[in-house]
Amino acid sequence: MFGDRFHKKTVIISIVILLIALVSYRMLISVNTGGSGIAMSEPSSMSHRRDADRRQQIIAAAWQVISREGISAASLRTIAAEMAATTGLVTRYFPEKQGLLLAALEHAVGFLNREVAAANINLTGKARLDATVLAALPVTKERRLAWKVWVAFMAELPASPELARAHAKFPGSLRQTLVRGLREAQLAGDISPETYPPQMADTLVGQIIGLGVQATIEPARYPAEKLPGLIAPFYLRMTERPD
């Protein structure tokens, strides 16, 4: 009888230990998987950051190919070769060429817009105008590369409304900033009250884009250090103080 009781107690204790182990295991799995019950090889934030970094590397490679050889040469295979990777790696993030081209263009537009925004932060009126005009021109290595990409897409715009919309966001944002600065300068009495800011902004954008395109196509004739001096006479005439 004593042996039977001992045996029963041993079985009960074993069952309790087993249940505790099972509960502990389930709690550990829940913590490691966020409650999904599926083991994760790495935290989600790290995975997302890795994917974002990889996308940026692919876009950077696309910039190099586009700026050097043009849109027609920017195949998924060529871009993969540029970054010493497989085509499969590129297609994992960009299954189609059109999607990668759009991302490359949007990245160029975003970069140029951020350059302009950073240059005129906390500025108003004439100071905003001066900073905006200079910040929009391809006078740095990074801006020249972004301009090359932006200019390279011009031939693609008639056949692609999606690319055309993305492309227009650079001059569109530039125009908005110039209109704002012109209106502020007008209120401060720094430019003529007869000036119509939207029309003047359109003219300034045309001059900036024209000079930027020329500098991109003929860098030897229009080197970066000469661009501010080339646009200055026109800009100063437009924004001269009233008598």
What's the pLDDT score for residue 242?
59
Q: Are residues 114 and 204 located together in one domain of the fold?
A: yes
Q: Are residues 114 and 88 located together in one domain of the fold?
A: no
Q: How many CA atoms lie within 13 A of 71 on its CB side?
A: 18
Identify whether 196 is part of a domain.
yes
Q: Are residues 111 and 91 located together in one domain of the fold?
A: no
Q: Are residues 182 and 220 located together in one domain of the fold?
A: yes
Range of the domain at 59: 49-95
CATH code for position 172: 1.10.357.10
Identify whether 20 is part of a domain.
no
Rounded to the nearest integer, the mean pLDDT of the chain is 86
Q: What is the token pair recorded at 31?
A: 């913590």
Identify whether 60 is part of a domain.
yes
CATH code for position 87: 1.10.10
Question: Global pTM?
Answer: 0.80
Identify whether 115 is part of a domain.
yes
Identify whether 32 is part of a domain.
no
Q: Are residues 146 and 198 located together in one domain of the fold?
A: yes
Q: Which of 34, 66, 95 is the last residue of a domain?
A: 95
d(CA 93, CA 53): 11
Q: Are residues 115 and 182 located together in one domain of the fold?
A: yes
The closest alpha carbon to 171, from 140, 195, 126, 203, belongs to: 203
Q: Are residues 166 and 72 located together in one domain of the fold?
A: no
Q: Are residues 227 and 148 located together in one domain of the fold?
A: yes
The per-residue pLDDT for range 26-40, each reduced to its tens digit, is 443 333 333 334 334
Identify whether 64 is part of a domain.
yes
Q: Are residues 171 and 233 located together in one domain of the fold?
A: yes
Long-range contacts: 201-208, Cβ < 8 Å, 24+?
201/175, 202/175, 203/238, 204/133, 204/178, 204/235, 204/238, 205/171, 205/174, 205/175, 205/178, 207/231, 207/234, 207/235, 208/133, 208/136, 208/137, 208/174
Q: Are residues 72 and 182 located together in one domain of the fold?
A: no
Total number of domains in the chain: 2
Q: Which of 95, 114, 130 is the last residue of a domain?
A: 95
Identify whether 206 is part of a domain.
yes
Q: Is the pLDDT of residue 43 over 70?
A: no
Identify whether 1 is part of a domain.
no
The per-residue pLDDT for range 44-96, each reduced to its tens digit, is 778 788 889 999 999 999 999 999 999 999 999 999 999 999 999 999 999 99
Torsion of CA 221, 224, 226, 230, to 10 degrees: 90
Q: Is the pLDDT of residue 191 over 60?
A: yes
User: Tell me, what amino acid is at 150?
Assistant: W
Q: Are residues 218 and 113 located together in one domain of the fold?
A: yes
Q: Are residues 231 and 196 located together in one domain of the fold?
A: yes
